[in-house]
């Protein structure tokens, strides 16, 4: 389920003649799953690479082509004006070298080019082409020109290209394009100019080279917070334990394995951050004696595992935090949730603690939904409140709580 701000958005998609056009039905499907309305403009070259019939079947509406540009049948609707005025965001993917040149020079000889000129919503271009073409100075000059004119241009990914070359030129992944769409649509940029450190996932505390102590955390909550903070304008660094989920685009990821590695990464990053959100499920204990070789079956009839406590990262950050920094902790509880969570506010010098009952349905590890109880340190004078819904909705509500005390903490800077 999407937060309120992301619902019912209108996306205009321009598809130009690059081989990566074959990926576009998947992209359209993702937007439709999110409840968006989508209109598609196909260049004549693109229509040879992706079926207009397939796209119109997905959309349950027509697709627009150059033959509709001021035609006898549709000219009275002025498609380039109507479509561009309707859109909340205009995405061009793939953006070929020819379309990039049209955007740079303001060429309006095609429906796509004219619609770009007429659009006042955010325009995002995703160039995709042969790596030698992308490296050509003429293409680089056009990319610079469109950026200067207010369009957002996303550099292509590197990898094996359809033409057989390997290098920079691939269309970014569908999730990355969707992330950039949400970033452009998100009007509230209340974290602009702020830097946020978010932790996510579990830690693995190894007993021997093949066995470790951990927990069922997937990192979904932390990644949702990192993504939402980025959508709201923050520079985000995500310190993540081992996870199998996609990390959000547009954030800097520091991958770690153990609690000790997470501590080191957090201490290295925290000093430059305005907001620190400790959403990771960090292991409280590690094996006291690590075995250098795999413990073989038959090693002993019984094995006693001695555990040593890991550092309390949140408490350490609380002791070192500056007056203008906001520190948010998480409390995954199975009993006495409010009592246990609020005790952490003072003990760890937190500004906010987000508590959830991990034994409840829809609130535990690996769930796609969550219910958070938000508690503030008494000095902020804020009443507790609850958030429930998807992890994206929970992330949005938590950042609303952080935003509510940002101005107070900013007073300490002066």
Would you call 52 exposed, middle or buried from its count of C-beta atoms within 10 A (0-12, 13-18, 19+)? middle
Exactly one of 67, 163, 223, 266 is catalytic; which is it? 163
Ramachandran bin of 389, using left for φ above 0, alpha for ψ from -120 to 50, beta for the remaining angles: left
- Greatest pairwise CA separation for the chain in angstroms: 86
E-strand ranges in 171-245 read 195-200, 205-208, 211-213, 235-240
Whether the Cβ atoms of residue 79 and residue 1 lie closer than 8 Å to each other: no
Give the H/E segment covering residue 399. Answer: helix 391-410
Q: φ and ψ at 304, to 5 degrees?
A: -100, 125
Whether the Cβ atoms of residue 69 and residue 114 lie closer than 8 Å to each other: yes
Give 393's contacts (C-beta < 8 A, 6+ positions apart). 1, 2, 3, 387
β-strand partners of 369:
390
**82, two tokens:** 């109507």
Whether the Cβ atoms of residue 308 and residue 331 lie closer than 8 Å to each other: no
Distance in angstroms (rounded) separating the CA atoms of residues 379 and 382: 8
Q: Are strands 369-376 and 385-390 parallel, antiparallel or unpaired?
A: antiparallel
β-strand partners of 159:
167
E-strand ranges in 214-316 read 235-240, 252-255, 275-278, 285-287, 307-309
Q: Is 67 a catalytic residue?
A: no
Q: How far is CA 56 from CA 42, 51, 52, 126, in A?
A: 11, 9, 6, 22
CA nearest 244: which of 227, 226, 219? Answer: 219
What are the residue numbers of the active site? 163
């Amino acid at each position: 389920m999407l937060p309120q701000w992301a619902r019912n958005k209108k996306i205009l998609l321009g598809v130009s003649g690059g081989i990566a056009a074959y990926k576009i039905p998947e992209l359209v499907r993702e937007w439709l799953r999110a409840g968006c309305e989508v209109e598609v403009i196909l260049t004549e070259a693109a229509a040879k690479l992706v079926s207009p019939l397939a796209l119109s079947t997905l959309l349950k509406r027509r697709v627009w082509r150059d033959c509709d540009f001021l035609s006898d049948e549709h000219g009275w609707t002025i498609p380039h004006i109507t479509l561009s005025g309707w859109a909340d965001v205009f995405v061009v993917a793939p953006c070929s070298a020819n379309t990039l040149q049209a955007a740079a020079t303001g060429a309006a000889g095609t429906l796509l080019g004219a619609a770009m000129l007429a659009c006042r919503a955010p325009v995002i271009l995703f160039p995709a082409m042969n790596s030698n073409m992308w490296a050509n100075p003429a293409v680089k000059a056009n990319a610079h020109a469109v950026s200067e004119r207010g369009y957002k241009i996303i550099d292509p990914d590197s990898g094996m290209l359809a033409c057989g070359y390997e290098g920079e030129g691939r269309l970014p992944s569908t999730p990355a394009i969707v992330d950039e769409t949400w970033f452009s649509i998100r009007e509230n940029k209340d974290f602009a100019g702020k830097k946020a450190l978010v932790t996510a996932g579990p830690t693995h505390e190894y007993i021997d080279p093949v066995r470790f102590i951990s927990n069922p955390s997937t990192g979904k909550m932390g990644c949702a917070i990192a993504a939402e903070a980025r959508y709201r304008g923050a520079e985000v660094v995500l310190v993540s334990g081992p996870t199998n989920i996609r990390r959000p685009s547009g954030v800097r990821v520091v991958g770690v394995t153990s609690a000790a590695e997470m501590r080191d990464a957090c201490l290295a990053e925290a000093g430059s951050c305005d907001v620190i959100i400790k959403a990771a499920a960090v292991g409280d204990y590690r094996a006291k004696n690590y075995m250098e070789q795999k413990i073989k079956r038959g090693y002993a009839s019984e094995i006693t595992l001695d555990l040593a406590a890991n550092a309390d990262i949140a408490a350490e950050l609380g002791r070192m935090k500056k007056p203008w920094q906001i520190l948010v902790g998480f409390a995954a509880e199975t009993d006495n949730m409010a009592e246990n969570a609020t005790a952490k506010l003072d003990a760890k010098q937190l500004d906010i603690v987000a508590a959830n009952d991990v034994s409840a349905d829809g609130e535990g590890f690996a769930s796609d939904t969550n219910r958070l109880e938000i508690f503030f340190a008494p000095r902020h004078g804020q009443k507790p409140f609850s958030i429930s819904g998807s992890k994206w909705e929970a992330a949005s509500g938590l950042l609303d709580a952080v935003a509510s005390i940002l101005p107070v903490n900013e007073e300490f800077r002066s």
